[in-house]
Amino acid sequence: MSVDGWHTLLVLGGIRSGKSEFAESLVADAPTVRYVATAPAGDPEDTEWATRLAAHRARRPGSWSTEETAADPGRLVEVIAAAGPNETLLVDDLGGWVTVLLDPAHQPADDTATIAELAAAVRSSAARVVLVSPEVGLSLVPTTPLGRAFTDALGATNRAVADACDAVALVVAGQTAWLKPATPAPAHAVPPAATSPEAVPSRAAAPHTAAPRAAASWATAPQPTSEQAARNQTATTGAAPARAVPADLGAGDVTLPEVLTPAAAPVPAPVTSDEPGTGDWAAPTMALPMIATGLVIQPGMELPMPDDYTGPQAVDRLATLDIPGAGLGVLEQVVGFAAATQGTSTPRPWDSVRVLLIQGDHEGGASAGATPGESARRARQARAGRGPLARLAAENRAGLQIVEAPASAAMEDGPALSADEVEAALRYGWRLAEQAADAGVQLLVLAACGAGAEAAAAAVLAATAGAEAPTVLGRVVTEQGEIDDTAWMVRCAAVRDALHRTRRSAREAKDVLAELGGGDIALATGVLLGATARKVPVLLDGPVGTAAAMVSRDLAGQARHWCLLPDHGGRPGVRLAADVLGLTPLVDLRLDLGEGATALAALPLLRSALTLAATLPVHPSLGGPDDEGDTDERTGDDGRTEDEPDFAEPEPAGPGPTTIGADEPVSPGRRAD
């Protein structure tokens, strides 16, 4: 099992190393946590020890329940074995457990057998378990028999539990190193078959460390490299405008576009200005330099696949939950998808979401019927915090990054892009996905706005799926809401002529992007490949995203398994691509608010399904809690039952909305991506 899909975890560390704080941060976002305290009370006159225990208690949230096992070392085994799949246990620590185990009051006893029972309980536990233990094996051999007995027993315990756990972390001086499974090579963003050791000596030599804090998802173990840590320190508060893809990414440093974090407007006002820079945005989360990564993107790359087992397990688990009706229906697919991509049978809702809006126009007949400059206006509108995409991003607490793709030439007259521009766009898109993963983003939403993008996507579909242009090209709707059949015929003719021009050309992925796809689809393809390499799922929504998925399958067949399609939007090309890719749309909203908006509109529904799947208890008939029969047994330290939600008091309202621009009120609150 991979580090980011652990189910049971052992956290080792020395005295005052930060191991307990790190373990607590890993489960901070879990709906319910049972803290298993193993340490005995100690001497009443030992005030220093009492102070340590009090500090541990003070750090625990009020929603956590606590169970003491100091009276009987066998009680810890019972607690772990009896915990259900919807529970999270934090055991702190095994040193206290060994102290109780060696207590003369519990002797004579077979300590080896008790340690083996603990390891067996951890290995077979249905709950998510984090165990903390001191690492004393690096010190000198104690000079007393009792000291030697303690270090020997604790060493045997750590070895047995480490063998039983999915993952093991060692915290030293506040820094975390992952011992099990072994941290992958730094080129994890680049498949081995596509990486030249000579091209990336700095990446191959970078040591792996991790900060002693959990990633955005409590079930994800962080694995930043030292190079990534250095990049994180380049964060700036300046807001740089979106930049086009450079012709040569290795020629020098290139700043990626800013990540905008909008605040939702509680009372939208009429929009009277589309000038950029008037939105209430937080500073960009980071402005990273583009460096020569040595990426070699080529067909047949071996990228990660979602977990084959946790997805079906999560869906099967839904049948055991205490649900009054028939269940989640088609939304079971969301639970299975999230479980497979997160590597756990109890997936969590996506907390950190980023929207990538790719803006790039196509010349020639592909853009027939489009208003000149409309896509640039939409991009400025989104950057200013207005328009459907920005509003929906704000409501979903999602970051928004506007990326300018290179303009594409008329595909009916010649290649839309040069081969070098395709390579640059693919690398740039990959780097955007890497930046999102480094920032802790758990879900990407692919959006696009560009004149002629739908016709270019139709050409890609025709070339890769053998479709006819009229069957995959949607009707052209003017700004006045009228159907423009003349423009539609011009677009069909452009696709037809482009396919005729390239009828003897190779149909390799990069050739299709150069001849037909253009800058926006090439950049989106790079995003999908980079997201796959970093195990970040992607919501597709529209022709550009699905066309990129069609191309990416020829570069890395694993990419489509990290994609989810909430809705086909009534677009024939998206429907065809979904059939070919094996993606089943979840809803049929028929929204037409621009590519990416439908996915954001459906995101709250998807999150709700994951919340229910993660927090609902097992039905009483299957061994779950009985609300009438065992209320007292499930009451925590704060007087609430474990199933009772932890509702927080609403925060007091601020001083009022801050007016920006002409008539645009926006809440003063800001949230980082």
464-494: per-residue pLDDT in tens?
888 888 888 888 887 777 888 898 899 999 9
Sheet holding 88-92, edge to edge: 65-68, 34-37, 88-92, 128-134, 8-13, 167-172, 175-180
Residue corresponding to tokens 């974090």: 261
Separation of alpha carbons 538 and 444, rounded Å: 5
Handedness of CA 159, 163, 166, 167 (dihedral sign): positive
Please indicate whether residue 637 or residue 279 has the higher confidence score (pLDDT).
637
> What burial letters (b/e) apply to 23-57, b meaning 16+ CB within 10 Å?
bbbbbebbbbbbbbbbbbeeeeeeeeeeeeeeeee
User: In terms of pLDDT, which residue wins out, 80 or 267?
Assistant: 80
Confidence of residue 618 (pLDDT cuts 50, 70, 90): confident
Q: Which two tokens stand for residue 598?
A: 């439908």
What's the pLDDT score for residue 441? 93
pLDDT on residue 230 = 40
Determine how many CB atoms are found less than 10 A away from the CB of residue 544: 32
What are the pLDDT digits (tens) for 60-75? Answer: 777 788 888 887 878 8
Q: What was the pLDDT predicted at 261?
A: 65
The region of weakest confidence among 182-186, 190-194, 202-206, 407-411 is 202-206
> Does position 89 have pLDDT exceeding 90, yes or no?
yes
DSSP category for residue 587:
B
The torsion region of residue 324 among left (phi > 0), alpha (psi -120 to 50) and beta comes to: alpha
Q: What is the pLDDT of residue 40?
A: 73
- Residue predicted with more confidence, 242 or 362: 362
Which residue among 87, 404, 595, 642 is the active-site one?
595
Of the pLDDT bands very low, low, confident and very high (cuts 50, 70, 90), residue 432 is very high
SS3 state at 487: helix
- What is the Cα–Cα distance from 56 to 63, expressed in whole angstroms? 15
Asked whether residue 274 carries a pLDDT value surpassing 80, the answer given is no
**Confidence band for 176, pLDDT divided at 50, 70 and 90:** confident
pLDDT at 524 over 90: yes
pLDDT exceeds cutoff 80 at 235: no
Q: What is the pLDDT of residue 549?
A: 92
C-alpha–C-alpha distance, residues 540 and 536, integer Å: 13
Q: Is the model more confident about 289 or about 386?
A: 386
Q: What is the mean pLDDT of residues 223-251?
A: 41
Q: For position 264, what pLDDT does the model report? A: 53
Average pLDDT over residues 127-153: 86
**pLDDT exceeds cutoff 90 at 96:** no
- What does 247-263 look like in DSSP terms, one character per residue? S-GGGS--BPPP-B-B-
Over 70: is that where the pLDDT of 305 sits? yes
Q: 666 — phi, psi (to 5°)?
A: -135, 140
Say what the pLDDT of residue 262 is.
60
Q: Using an 8 Å Cβ cutoff, are 225 and 210 in contact?
A: no
671 pLDDT more than 70: no
Q: What integer pLDDT is reported at residue 41 of this predicted model?
A: 67
pLDDT at 659 over 50: no
What's the predicted TM-score (pTM) here?
0.56
pLDDT of 418 over the 60 cut: yes
Confidence bin at 4 (pLDDT 50/70/90) = low
More confident residue, 605 or 215: 605
pLDDT at 263: 59
Lowest-confidence region among 1-15, 123-137, 145-159, 191-205: 191-205
Neighbours of 291 (CB within 10 A): 16
Listing DSSP states for 168-225 in one string gives EEEEETTEEEEEETTPPPGGGGS-GGG--TTT-HHHHT--B-B-SS--SSTT-----B
* pLDDT (0 to 100) of residue 322: 83
Identity of the amino acid at 151? T
Instruction: For residue 595, indicate whether it is catalytic.
Output: yes
- Better-scored residue on pLDDT, 529 or 291: 529
Query: What letter would DSSP give residue 439?
Result: T
How do residues 639-651 score in pLDDT, each as one tens digit?
444 445 555 555 5
Burial group, residue 373, by CB count within 10 angstroms (0-12, 13-18, 19+): exposed
- Is 633's pLDDT higher than 80? no
The reported pLDDT for the residue numbered 195 is 36
Rounded CA-CA distance 267/176 in Å is 45
Question: What is residue 11's three-state secondary structure?
Answer: strand
Q: Would you call 298 exposed, middle or buried from its count of C-beta atoms within 10 A (0-12, 13-18, 19+)?
A: middle
Residue, of 14 and 4, whose pLDDT is higher? 14
CB 328 within 8 A of CB 335: yes
CB 127 within 8 Å of CB 85:
yes
